[in-house]
Amino acid sequence: MIPNWLMQRAYLTPDKTAFSFKSEKWTFAQLKDRAMTLARKLRTNGLNEGNRIALLGPSNAEMVFIIHACILAGLEIVMLNSRLTKKEIEYQLDDSGATTVIVSDELKSVVSDTAVRQLSFSSLNDSAEQVFVTREIWESDRTITIMYTSGTTGFPKGVRQTAGNHVSSALSSVLNLGLDEEDVWLCAMPLFHISGFSILVRSVLYGMEVQLHEKFDAVKSAQAVGSGSVTRMSVVSLTLDKVLRELEKENTVAHPSFKTMLAGGGPVPIDYLNRAKALEVPVLQTYGMTETSSQTATLSANDAMRKMGSAGKPLFFNQIKIKDTETPGDKGEVFIRGPHVTPGYIGRFSELDPLEDGWLPTGDIGYLDEEGYLYIVDRRSDLIISGGENIYPAEIENILASHPNVREAGVCGIEHLEWGSVPIAFVVMSGELSADDLASFCEERLARYKVPKSFYIVDKLPRNASNKLLRRKLKELVDLE
């Protein structure tokens, strides 16, 4: 049994700031009042408890109100990625069986051709209110959100995330990171992504303020970190690097009150971690996925430097094992178990059990050291097998990222007649550098078979909405050459 998040929070700390956006702030009482008004308007539009709707909009204040309104109204929310194509969104609408898509006015054209009923933000705001009583207590297996995987292999899967999943994830996180009365979390991650949505969940469970940014802005983020207006922030490697560059440019360091740069979305290059240390930015690597409602493991602040490069130990309620291994350091697929793991999928994958003997196979390759700390090596699907040797793209990317004239790097494998597959690299430059220079740099630091056979200088790398590198798309860049 779980209390209604927002109603309970507004009852406990009504006057505490819930979130800010641009120059405005709202207390939890104000957030509840606005969300309840919208929930009553949703009822007027025929949306009742248990209905499944899709939500498409930007990461702004209005979106926060509507998300909470949908939850108060008892709806299941399919969180649509606003950066997808029309066809990708059509697939998710069709697969999810959503009865209505609630869409911001500026994004109506994206769903204009779909057969699913559309309700714009402005139409919702103009609706009358229908009185109803929101539930005070939720069952833990109530589906709150459905988020589609990024589709790195095959069709994207619609992942159910329950009230129990979200709560166990948030509680595990706070047991690891701690909580201070003055904590403010900078959210520049999209709200349709689990990393962004989980920050909203933590806000109402912890009574913590969120500083919401509609889009990631390196300058604004660095200013917030340096000024002390926020105490925590979620990033991926790309956005971390950009914040660090801004701090370096301004010759400043993080404010003493800044506690956590939570870095997910894949391994962070060691060079970034060393630069962050010099700038007094505490970077804690974390590991999680859509199927686990955000974090599964996170490095604690005390271990940040001693276990640099690790994603830490599993959080309090969670377990991690490496399949078919017995010795610390042996690499294999990461398996996860815990109350934060999804109960299953919807749509075309609804019959697929996400678990193997109670454990979730992640598709990630990693290992546990002798103390039980998790290290993620790479995605299993991205593994390059060359002449019988395993090559992990992230290892090569980390080496390339350590070059002062390299801003970003991506590595994938291509077929080779003799070796089966060989690595190639794509590099975004921040200074003058040739392919020969890059090859020499790698040859000094990598075994010969790991050195990319070709280097491509590009303007940008393919990334998803959360700025995660899409290695499968790198091969398409080769086709353009």
Q: What is the pLDDT of residues 45-84, one digit of tens each?
A: 999 999 999 999 999 999 999 999 999 999 999 999 888 8
The amino acid that residue 305 corresponds to is: M
Burial of residue 449 (number of CB atoms within 10 Å: 0-12, 13-18, 19+): middle
Q: Is 376 left (phi over 0), alpha (psi -120 to 50) or beta?
A: beta
Is the pLDDT assigned to residue 456 strictly greater than 70? yes
User: Interior CA angle at 380 toward 378 and 385, to 5°?
Assistant: 95
| Architecture per CATH, 165-380 | 3-Layer(aba) Sandwich (3.40)
pLDDT at 152: 46
Is the pLDDT assigned to residue 415 strictly greater than 70? yes
Is the pLDDT assigned to residue 379 strictly greater than 90? no
Residue among 62, 95, 65 at smallest CA distance from 80: 95
pLDDT at 386: 86
| Whole-structure pTM value | 0.86
Tell me the domain boundaries of the chain. 2-138, 165-380, 383-480
Alpha helices in 61-208 (DSSP H): 61-72, 86-96, 121-126, 163-177, 194-206
Among 305-309, 311-315, 316-320, 427-431, the minimum mean pLDDT is found in: 305-309
Is the pLDDT assigned to residue 481 strictly greater than 60? no
Is the pLDDT assigned to residue 460 strictly greater than 80? yes
φ/ψ (deg, to 5) at 212: -90, 130
Q: Compute the distance between CA of residue 364 and CA of residue 50 in angstroms, rounded to an integer.
A: 34
Report the topology of domain 383-480: GMP Synthetase; Chain A, domain 3 (3.30.300)
Q: Compute the distance between CA of residue 196 and CA of residue 194 in angstroms, rounded to an integer.
A: 5
Give the percent of the chain with pLDDT over 90. Answer: 78
User: Do residues 237 and 269 touch, judged by C-beta distance below 8 A?
Assistant: yes
Is the pLDDT assigned to residue 1 strictly greater than 60? yes
Are 165-380 and 383-480 equal in CATH topology?
no
- Summarize the confidence of residues 430-446 as an average pLDDT: 91
DSSP codes joined into one string, 11-34? HH-TTSEEEEETTEEEEHHHHHHH
- Looking at 3.40.50.920, 3.40.50.300, 3.20.20.140, 3.40.50.980, the CATH number of the domain 2-138 comes to 3.40.50.980
- Summarize the confidence of residues 327-335 as an average pLDDT: 95
